[in-house]
Amino acid sequence: MNQSNNQLHLAFSCDANYFPGLETAFASAVYSSRENTQAYEIFILDGGIHPNQRKQLQQLAHDLKTKYHLTINLQWFEPEHWSNPRINQCKHSPTFYARLLLADLLPDYDWVLWIDADILIQKDLSNIQNHLTATTPAVAAIDSLMPTLADELTYSQQFNTRNLDLTTPYINSGLCLLNLKLWRQENLIDKMLSWGDKYLQNSIFHDQSMLNWILADRIKHLDPSYNILITEPKLRFQDFKEPINLHFTGKFKPWKSPKKITPLTAASQLREIVPTYYYLQFRQRVMLRFEPDALHEFVTHIRALAKFSCSRKWLFISTVKRRLYQLINKKKRAAKWQSAYDFFTQEKETRNALITKTLADTEELIKECNKIKTPHHSLN
């Protein structure tokens, strides 16, 4: 099949619980690539999406098509059309393994880009297929939390059936470009499932384990900016001079509010807070999903951070206040925040007073945000 370079093939899968993530991943991928890519083939492997959610995604696709003059073709695969008995017997949801079946599900396509439902795309994905070669089965970024095969062997020594060099890079499969033509030629689906029959019960990384232990020495690696794991302890957003894709790995998801926030839970989620604000801002600005309650969560998190080191509090507060300021676009408030930039030069008592003032100011800003309407023409 002749597949245009000016076309993106994107595949997703989720159930009803992950649907807010799916629509954000889909919309952000299209929005970030809209200037250089006009045609999109979107494949949804339905793992239990509600009918009203399906209508919501179809309406979102229609809005993006109309606003940006794009061609977006949504193709749905019902659970009975893509589920596999060898996967269904696993202890986890079949949606974890959906990408392994794409070569058979899409016989007319030579490649597809898989995107997890908990990723916010900010990079232009146009021409990403150029990373593939005839002998490359997959392309993905190295996992920053487990950069080599040796790191997963701490969970099970049985996985290395091919005696691979344990210094071989280990990829995160959340954003993964698949060479479907090569997968069919080499019958890689059966090889993956055969490995899974023996070892999957001992794996906590699902299909990611299969991809790595079967293909690791043949995978081509993307720049880290394509798949930034926000739980990475050494992550420094200021080190990136270009757009990055934010992958919300772990239990915390940006479309869910924690049931109870304590200083301990806030500490564990410190790295998720600022990326979450970017996530919610995208939903509000581009997708018209205005969620004022989510903004209130930030005030709650700030209060929970009161016992943290001053440097971390300052970094978080200054970032959130800057994003809030940009959101409501009131330049007259800029002077109000000037003192925050002198934070490190203040005495401890003054710092605490400034934190208190920042809390009050942030609450005022959020009240104004709650009054803002997001009419359809506000899309840009």
Whole-number pLDDT of residue 163 = 79
User: How would you classify the pairing of strands 39-46 and 111-115?
Assistant: unpaired
CB 247 within 8 A of CB 116: yes
Residues 221, 90, single domain; the answer is: yes
Q: Is residue 236 part of a domain?
A: no
Nearest to 210 by CA among 191, 226, 237, 229: 191
Length of the chain measured in residues: 380
CB 176 within 8 A of CB 136: no
User: How would you classify the pairing of strands 138-142 and 171-179?
Assistant: antiparallel
3-state SS string for 50-91: CHHHHHHHHHHHHHHHHHHCCEEEEEEECHHHHCCHHHHCCC
What crossing angle do the helices spanning 348-371 and 292-304 adopt, rounded to 10°?
Answer: 170
Whole-number pLDDT of residue 332 = 45
Residues 153, 80, single domain; the answer is: yes
Q: Is residue 248 part of a domain?
A: no
* H or E stretch covering 234: none
Whole-number pLDDT of residue 344 = 38
Residues 51, 105, single domain; the answer is: yes
pTM to 2 decimal places = 0.76
Looking at the structure of the chain, the number of domains it has is: 2
Q: Is residue 113 part of a domain?
A: yes
Whole-number pLDDT of residue 152 = 81
Could you list the residue range(s) of the whole structural domain that residue 319 is in?
256-378
Residues 63, 151, single domain; the answer is: yes
Residues 214, 338, single domain; the answer is: no
Whole-number pLDDT of residue 330 = 46
What does each of the 380 residues of the chain score in pLDDT, given as a tens digit?
A: 435 558 999 999 999 999 999 999 999 999 999 999 999 999 999 989 999 999 999 999 999 999 999 999 999 998 777 766 666 555 566 677 788 899 999 999 999 999 999 999 999 999 999 999 999 999 999 999 889 988 887 655 667 777 788 888 999 999 999 999 999 999 999 998 888 777 777 677 878 988 998 998 999 999 999 999 987 766 766 667 788 899 998 777 888 765 554 444 544 555 566 677 678 778 878 887 766 666 556 556 555 554 454 455 555 555 555 555 555 554 444 444 444 444 434 445 555 565 566 556 555 655 555 554 433 323 33
Nearest to 194 by CA among 268, 300, 84: 84
Q: Is residue 37 part of a domain?
A: yes
Q: Is residue 249 part of a domain?
A: no
